[in-house]
Amino acid sequence: MNKNILLIAALALVLALVQISMAGDPDILTDFIVPLNTPPPADGGFFTFTGFRALVTAPFPPTFKVFKAGMEQFPALNGQSVSYAVLMYPSGTVNPVHTHPRSAELLFLVQGSLEVGFVDSTNKLYTQSLQQGDVFVFPKGLVHFQYNADAKNPAVAISAFGSANAGTVSLPNTLFNSTIDDTVLALSFKTDVATIQKLKAGLHG
């Protein structure tokens, strides 16, 4: 066998492993990044996100809600590989099955209780009943959910991400609220078009 080919293959493997071990946002060559055509920050204001202040006094939302402090809401996070989300679950509500393509999620349950779970790449489900004060990690890229099964009490969690823009791929929306052809979905799920349309109707509604 050609030695060079083996060498190139080995090099490619090493590079791939280095990529995996450095999984996170790309490193930046400056202390921080300000948006284009913006002067350097005059003070700490640029590094402060006040968007969560309103949550302190706001009434509890009637449906499950996520409030994000990611790069979009908080530009100073660009290049820093971190972000937050505040998650509020009225009693009986779910954060539907979803993945974050660019980060693990470290969830801290500050109020109430939550049933959480994720499925690994061998389809094994890992679940836990979290109580107030618990911290749970959802590994990067894996499908997961949170459910407030408590019939009376709301739940509040704060999630940290190892990316300034973790991204969210909601499975119900990706599959049944996009424009993937009904036939493709029917064949994919080994069912009929009517069943697919029923699932779609629920999300369009």
Ligand X SMILES: *[C@@H]1O[C@H](CO)[C@@H](O)[C@H](O)[C@H]1NC(C)=O
Look up residue 20 and give its amino acid.
Answer: I
Nearer to ligand X, 153 or 178 (CB): 178
Residue 177 binds ligand X, judged by CB under 6 A? yes
Residue 94 binds ligand X, judged by CB under 6 A? no
165 labeled part of a ligand binding site: no
Least Å from the CB of residue 147 to ligand X = 17
Residue 199 binds ligand X, judged by CB under 6 A? no
Residue 173 binds ligand X, judged by CB under 6 A? yes
Residue 128 binds ligand X, judged by CB under 6 A? no
Going through the chain in order, the beta strands assigned E by DSSP cover 65-69, 83-89, 94-99, 105-111, 113-119, 125-131, 135-138, 143-147, 155-161, 169-170
Residue 38 binds ligand X, judged by CB under 6 A? no
Least Å from the CB of residue 177 to ligand X = 4
204 labeled part of a ligand binding site: no
100 labeled part of a ligand binding site: yes
- The C-alpha angle with vertex 119 and arms to 148 and 172, in degrees rounded to 5, equals 65
76's enclosing H/E stretch is none
For residue 14, with 0-12 CB atoms within 10 Å meaning exposed, 13-18 middle and 19 or more buried, which class applies? exposed
Helices (H), 92-192: 171-176, 182-188
For the annotated binding site for Mn(2+), the residues are: 98, 100, 105, 144
* Contacting positions for ligand X (CB under 6 A): 173, 177, 203
